[in-house]
Amino acid sequence: MNENLIYVDGREVKIENEKNLLEIIRKANIEVPTFCYHSDLSVYGACRLCMVDVEGRGLSPSCSTPPEAGMKIKTNTGEIREIRKTIVELLLANHESNCPSCPKSTACQLQSLSKKLGVGEIKFKKLETKQPVDRSTESIVRDPNKCVLCGDCVRVCSEVQGVGVIDFAHRGSKVSVLPSFGKNLNDVECVLCGQCVRVCPTGALSVKSQINEVFKALNDKNKKVVAQIAPAVRVALGEMFGYEPGSVVTGQIVGALKHMGFNKVFDTSFTADLTVIEEANEFLTRFNKNENLPLITSCCPGWVKYAEQYYPQILPHLSSCKSPQQMFGSLAKDFLAKLYNVEPKDLVVVSIMPCTAKKFEAEREEFKHNGIAEVDHVISTYELAQMIEESGLNFKKIQPESFDMPFGFKTGAGIIFGNSGGVTEAVLRYVDEKLTNKKSDAYEYKIVRSGNGIKEFCAEINGIKINMAVVNGLANAKKAVESVKKGEKNYHFIEIMACPGGCIGGGGQPAPKEAGANAMRTQGLYDNDKMLQLHKPQQNPYIEELYKNHLGTPGSEKPHKLLHTKYHSRRRITEEGLSLINSKNARKIEVSVCVGTSCYIRGAQDLLHRLIKYIEDKEMTSIVEVKASFCFENCSKGPTVNVGGKIINRCDFETACKEIDLQAGKISDGSAA
């Protein structure tokens, strides 16, 4: 017997470091259905759709069963087909079936599986009443009526992003996936990155659409409507129309937008070039003065919101540069409005972005002036595909068109912004010539390019060493920031993007239909960079002209007014509150969890550990002390918890956290000092 072979439906398949049977089976070109399996997330095994028959063992979940030599597996027996069909019928029985109007229609895995498995009727009755739809944020819509409890959103939020604002609640038939304490997404610390939307197999989590608002602006004869297209959109939109991931479809996108009625179409890569020049000069100024280092990039609104919520003390380290989206909006309302002789309020700026957090960014008060937003509407890549279809356009037959000038010209530095490491590489392309005072034909810094995680390196330019890090995924961002806080790392420059792989893996992008799609998108941007004649932002003649005739020198007064900003703390406990808490007269909240025998068997030990972790994650250890205790003499009413003198019987995790937050809030505003 060959030690590296297993048998899938009678065919030999070689074991090559696959971690489970599902990967082996898919390598054999057999598509076993799943809801809850993602190769970059932990194995959950909730949906049971991937069950296979292993000889000698019976039915086994292929996602959590490791391959062993000699295994004989059947993937499509009558029993397995019946099980899968029944599972889908049960899901459909408790699933709101307004498929034609669902935002995930045609891209819904439940819909696709129903068709593939031949589900013609549902034999089970619905059990639950309709729940309210959460539309509280600018970015994401959460519809619990369409949730299939796969847990994908829970795991990506916790494992990849390290935020954990959504989790399972309740038990048995009442189990559901909810934000903390059943609140709306806007009332918890969601960073609106949209990774939950990206992995959700149904319409339970979707991008909040602004399509109607955009069409309304296009139909208004009193408005001049311009579009900007982010770099990552051009290598992903094609997937919605049958192209391979990474295919560059820029010309067709521009053609489609002009057909819809957009007056001008520009490239966000132009202001990405501009961002590099402003940010690189800001970095060099800080580096020479040794002030507020490391400089941390601020292009990603999901990361900025995360920093405001969890690490407000590092906000002075963030670059003051606006993101390319907002730089474009600011210049459009100032420069383009004058160029086209229209009032800023009548120039409608529509951003086409791979990111759901960009919708939130456009609504920030920092980016509104006299009630006029720099960017009026933001639509995702997915929404753009919907607009093209709604307009009746055959995307593959659209004649390519070119961007409009002056904001349609870019260099390769602006293009690679869509990849993790792209901002850092673009900055190096500028800084290298600035520090050496020499022009160079070399432009690629492949050491910067990385996969998921944290990439560290030292760039040595003209004898000057610059310690840099490229980070993607907010769980990794936390690791990087903590290492700096503890003095374990000494970076000068850190690039952080919230989404794995950077913008190419944004929450507003089409869900990949094949493994390796993100890598193909990444390569598509690097290939696009190579095809351009210019690769460095300082080579962009329209940027040079903009500074000469409109802005002045980089970092001067006008660029600072138009292109820079400040961010603020979003912590629930204000800095003033922390000062009060840390004063000698401040009261500290004591939380005692009874771990006596009666409370112990009711889960007190687990409750204690969860509360300790909660306090640590919320960085409240300076005002809250959690400890074990014996005994509150309420043995029949356990678990019993004392929060700041308030005894809570039959206490659960959510109730304890709610009371802790309540008392901490009172200390913060001074009412309990």
Q: Which two tokens stand for residue 584?
A: 């000698």
Q: Is 366 noted as a catalytic residue in this protein? A: yes
Q: Which two tokens stand for residue 243?
A: 């192209």
> What is the rounded CA–CA span in Å between residue 97 and residue 81?
23
> What is the rounded CA–CA span in Å between residue 17 and residue 122?
40
Helix (H, G, I), strand (E, B) or coil at 611: helix
Active site residue: 358, 410, 455, 489, which one? 358
For residue 639, is the peptide bond before it cis, meaning its omega torsion is within 30 degrees of 0? yes
Q: Determine contact, residues 48/35, Cβ cutoff 8 Å.
A: no
Strand partners of residue 669: none
> What is the rounded CA–CA span in Å between residue 344 and residue 338?
8
- Total residues found in the chain within this entry: 673
Active site residue: 96, 138, 361, 659, which one? 361
Q: Is 358 noted as a catalytic residue in this protein? A: yes
Sheet with 464-472, side-by-side order of all strands: 295-296, 493-497, 464-472, 453-461
Q: Is 319 noted as a catalytic residue in this protein? A: yes
Active site residue: 503, 599, 651, 657, which one? 503
Active site residue: 247, 319, 351, 420, which one? 319
> What is the rounded CA–CA span in Å between residue 27 and residue 465?
45
Active site residue: 36, 153, 200, 299, which one? 299
Distances from the Cα of 531 to the Cαs of 41, 248, 524, 539, 552, in angstroms? 35, 11, 11, 15, 31
Q: Is 282 noted as a catalytic residue in this protein? A: yes
Q: Determine contact, residues 139/194, Cβ cutoff 8 Å.
A: yes
Place of tokens 């949906």: 47
For residue 541, is the peptide bond before it cis, meaning its omega torsion is within 30 degrees of 0? no
Instruction: Tell me the chain's radius of gyration from C-alpha atoms.
Output: 27
Active site residue: 138, 282, 308, 374, which one? 282
Q: Is 279 noted as a catalytic residue in this protein? A: yes
> What is the rounded CA–CA span in Å between residue 79 and residue 76?
8
The single-letter DSSP state of residue 612 is H
**What DSSP assignment string belongs to 120-148?**
----S---SPPPPPB--SSSEEE-GGG--
Active site residue: 12, 55, 82, 366, which one? 366
Strand partners of residue 629: 594
Characterise 10 by phi-psi region: left (phi > 0), alpha (psi -120 to 50), beta (else): left
Helix (H, G, I), strand (E, B) or coil at 230: coil
Can you give the three-state secondary structure of 324-373, one letter per residue? HHHHHHHHHHHHHHHHCCCCHHHEEEEEEECCCHHHHHHCCHHHEECCEE
The alpha carbon torsion through 22, 27, 31, 37 (nearest 10 deg) reads 40
Q: Is 503 noted as a catalytic residue in this protein? A: yes
Characterise 15 by phi-psi region: left (phi > 0), alpha (psi -120 to 50), beta (else): beta
> What is the rounded CA–CA span in Å between residue 3 and residue 39?
25
Q: Give CA 16 to chain center in angstroms.
A: 32
Q: Is 299 noted as a catalytic residue in this protein? A: yes
Active site residue: 138, 279, 374, 659, which one? 279
> What count of other Cβ atoms lies within 10 Å of the Cβ of residue 29?
9
* Residues classed as catalytic: 279, 282, 299, 319, 358, 361, 366, 503
